[in-house]
Amino acid sequence: MLKAFEDFRRRLKFAENCTNPQDLVLSFQNSDLITCPKLKQSRIVFNVGNNKYRMICGYLFKATNTILFLKFMGTHSEYNKVDSFKVDMFK
């Protein structure tokens, strides 16, 4: 899993000019923007490690950079067991 995350981190350098979530999703072909109107929040789900793992991130776009908050990283079967909007493995 660590190798998959390191590969993702290297690819993130190509997404430096993103100013909104849609730009970030367009920069990563294997990602989806998910929105929960009830909680009034969005998160981005990335498929990493040749789609072996899923990573859920919150985000904050600032004037000069983008901050991703890692909420979950695991296999597809582990991802299917969590609520994408409530999960926070590192809290």
For residue 84, being part of any structural domain is answered with: no
* pLDDT above 90: residue 81: yes
58 has which bridge partners? Answer: 69
Amino acid at 86: K
Number of domains observed in the structure of the chain? 1
55 has which bridge partners? Answer: 46, 73
For residue 86, being part of any structural domain is answered with: no
- The owner of tokens 């926070």 is 88
For residue 61, being part of any structural domain is answered with: yes
For residue 10, being part of any structural domain is answered with: yes
- Contact call for residues 12 and 70 (beta carbons, < 8 A): no
Per residue in 33-58, pLDDT (tens digit) is: 999 888 888 999 999 888 899 999 99
Query: How much is the pTM?
Result: 0.85
Instruction: Supply the range of the domain harboring residue 9.
Output: 2-79
For residue 88, being part of any structural domain is answered with: no
- Contact call for residues 57 and 64 (beta carbons, < 8 A): no
